[in-house]
Structure 1
Amino acid sequence: MSSRLVAARAPTSLASSSASAAARRRRHAAATASSSTSAPSDVVGDRGVSSRRRALLAALALATAPVRPPRASAASAADALADARELYGAGGLEDAEAVLERAVAVADDRDLEASSKAALLKLLGDVRVDAYAYERAMRAYDAALEADPRGASASGAHFGRANALEGLAAAAATAAAATALYESAIDDYGACLELAKPGGAGPAVPLFERAQAYKRLERWDDARRDYAAAAVAFADARARKEQKIAEAQAAFATFETGDVAAARRQLETLSRQLYSSDVRAALVACYWVAGDAARAEDLWLSLCEMDASRCGNRRESEYADAGWLLERRKWTPGLAAGMGDFLALRPAAAAVE
């Protein structure tokens, strides 16, 4: 890595927040959409996880352009898509959904070309996912894939359906139900990657999101592999922040596989490249679990001198809150446990000789 990156300041958290994930998805989707003029495919979605799919320039254009009221009846599927996208980009989810539902009804009556109908249904699913209407989104994506299973909208429909499945999994009544939904989401991310068109947005976001689903299932080898592949894809796309988030998550997953030495090396590299308290804190836990108490203590003291490090009193530090680490900072269970052991000065439960 270039020495110019060593002093580069990155956000103190390498957690994948909903907002940053949504921004990645907007860029990914818009790039895919621009690759097809007949049936654009926005290969993105959000599960908790809200607005998505537009490239940065497109988002800026929508933010500065006046919003036209929806036409009473679009003259064609293309008009309906244009109206719905404009409303969607401005946050008018209900209006966008109404435009698309009318257009789908007309398409059913007129026996519209499969690819055009699939594009309408795909966007309808996206709008519903952003409204957290996951069951209704699933119906739209299912219909899109039934209409045109391998067409221009298919990759995006699989991605969106995976997002909807993860939204349903998060609210599932039982662990078994959640597991089944995450496994289905993983299948859809795989189909999204398989069906992606040349010249589209690239594999980075679907790979990262599939890794997230593997993480939920604690399939650490699979998660590590996809995070690492996503990091390479983000690097190819010159998305450095996302690349580093993926690299950090790959290191966390590597730790969970039991290869603490490899995780330590990865986190040491990241700590030299980034101004990130989270990376250093994870490395503290890694050192402690590896039995290197002196390095763990030295790095903790250095970490506590950083801005916004959240150290505080050792036992009252936010890093002592495992729930905060897992849900807000996106750590993995073993690392969170290692940090708890370090702060309590306990021998690490998973100590490595």
Structure 2
Amino acid sequence: MRRARISLAAMLAVVCMLTACGPQMSKEQQESGQVGKIPSTNGKSADRQMSELENGKRDPGMLPQDRQTNPSSGWVQPQSAVVREQLTIPLLTLNGKDYVIGTEFANASGYQYSWDAARSVFQMGENDPSYELTIGQKTALKDADRIKLADPPILNNSQLMIPAAALPLLFNDDLSYEVKGKSIIFRLLDQAVIQQAESPDEAESGTHLDFADDPADPAKSKMTSAAWPDQPAITSWMEEPALPAARGKSLDTQALTDRAQRYLGVPYEFGAASFAKSGKFDCSSFTKYVFDRYGWKLERTARAQAAQGTAVDRKSLRKGDLMFFYVPGKYRSNQIVGHVAIYMGDQKIIHAAPSPQNGVQITEINTAYWKRTFLRAVRLS
């Protein structure tokens, strides 16, 4: 019997080791290590802490039945109470000034990021680079705007450091956070985090959010959704010449959407360099590249492109319209443009995205995800 007890204890110990008995690291803690194109610095990863509600406890009145889950759309909406989460990352003091590690800030925000060592440029954003900071420069880019900084970003232990004083200028309109002592605390916004879905969901999204074509679209009669024309795929990364800026000319949206399909399958890359150099697109570099071929000059980022053209209703869409969406995130505003696509007609868009496939793809948008995340559409001609 004693041997059996010893064997059982030993077995339990092995099981415990295999299943990681004891306190578990949160998802944010597991992700707190430096990941990305900037080398990590040992001992400098953030001490991230997750909690529910601001006091770190679950609302005792929050019961499982208080949450309503829609399996088809993948999003969960609290009914009687909202569980607030917060995420904390540290500020570091260097030469008497406070900084945050750029990759830590991007990870906490849920942003993608990239580092161009040759230019000492750090970019971050949702599906394209909305922010650009350069080592030693007191000017940062926020979309098409140049923001003056009191102190420049610096490089410390192979990490780009963002001055704490620059955070309000760059991020106050976009993120839910506060600087408290030597920490930055990100707070969950009171909103459902919607996941992508590929099937329509009228029960949750409603027909009032449906997208529809403008029956007066002059390109409507040229092509139907039943017969997308075959277009030769782009096999070369050679830069194709752009036309001179269009002045007072109408845009041939049929030709534009036909051309856009030639790039189907071109890989997505956040902050992609020119197509000729990289052979890749992010969401806004794709729209800019296609429209440039027809003499229509777009800004570089989705947010800046959303300020161009004339606004149109979701139920009066025409081929060639630009459509803008927000990208759901725990700590980001759902009123900020994070993605852009070209409308193809018949409730389809063509866009460069990292998912559900990677690269330029055509997507049906009369689904719960796209209906809920839609912000606006604009027409350029």
TM over 0.5: no
Larger helix fraction of residues: 1
Higher strand share: 2
Question: Which TM-score tier does this pair reach, normalised by the shorter chain?
Answer: under 0.3
Q: TM-score, normalised by structure 2?
A: 0.20
TM-score, with structure 1 as normaliser: 0.21
